[in-house]
Structure 1
Amino acid sequence: MTVKRIVPNLRASNPAALARFYAEVFDLTVPMDMGWIAFLQNETTHQLELHTASEGGSGTPLPVVSIEVDNFDDTLARLNRLGHAPDYGPVDEPWGIRRFYFSDPEGNLVNVVTHIS
């Protein structure tokens, strides 16, 4: 057996609105909106990873999803332009990542991360 995809599902009272928010922050597309569920994609990256954890590290709460980006500052600027500020960070963590947390419009805690060179 080969797992082909693992996809987090974020609870949302308005899936299309939350999808538009994520599309704007992370430069994603919304190829399908069925009303009760909306799909987001990035055509250039398909990476499979699953984490299990008791906390978010550095004593922080566990986010529902971690999203690695190649342009950390641009992502933070996009978030700020939408009127959202980080709940944690930006911070360089001792295990070699730079990250911030934010709460999306539905209250989901999101970890945005990039590796420190």
Structure 2
Amino acid sequence: MSINRIVPNLNVADAQAGHDFYEEFLGLEKAFDLGWVVGFRAPGNPTAQVSLVSGDASAAEDSVISVDVDDVDAAYARARRLGYEIVHPLTTEAWGVRRFFVRDPHGNVVNVVGHPG
């Protein structure tokens, strides 16, 4: 499994608030906005990202980080084989990503995601 990037997910009350801090102060650009999650990235460095999450649209729990991998199906199979708790099953989401959530040994929920194409 190859990791493309790791993005911290900041759990916030309102993902639509505070954008000026990330855009005007930090100089990040908005990469996407689904209402409940907004992603920002550094211009010229798409691996430097942060997301604001105010309640995941399809998962029962929010994740603390997103790990973008080259083969999410293989990562899912490996997590199951190693006996890690799957919090959200492997799913192709309506917004185009394929992902699952797994709990780490400390209780943190990790969003493991693949971007097709």
- TM-score, with length taken from structure 2: 0.56
Q: Which runs of 5+ in 1 are unaligned?
A: 1-5, 9-45
Amino acid at match of 1:84: Y
- Greater helix proportion: 1
Distance 2:78 2:90 in 1: 14
| TM-aligned CA distance change 1:94 to 1:104, over 3 Å | same
Q: Secondary structure at the match of 2:73?
A: helix
* CA offsets 1:65-97 (integer angstroms, 9 cap, x no match): 011100112211221222114211111110001
1:52 to 2:43 alignment: no
- Greater strand proportion: 2
| TM-aligned CA distance change 1:7 to 1:91, over 3 Å | closer
Q: Which runs of 5+ in 2 are unaligned?
A: 1-5, 9-45
Distance 2:113 2:62 in 1: 14
User: How far is the alpha carbon of 1:57 from its aligned partner?
Assistant: 2.2
Identity within the alignment, %? 40
Structure 2 matches for 1:84-95, cutoff 5 A? 84-95=84-95
* CA offsets 1:5-46 (integer angstroms, 9 cap, x no match): x985xxxxxxxxxxxxxxxxxxxxxxxxxxxxxxxxxxxxx8
Q: What is the Cα-based RMSD across aligned positions, in Å?
A: 2.2
2:7–2:49 contact (8 Å) kept in structure 1:
no
Q: Which residue of 2 aligns with 1:97?
A: 97
Paired residue total: 75
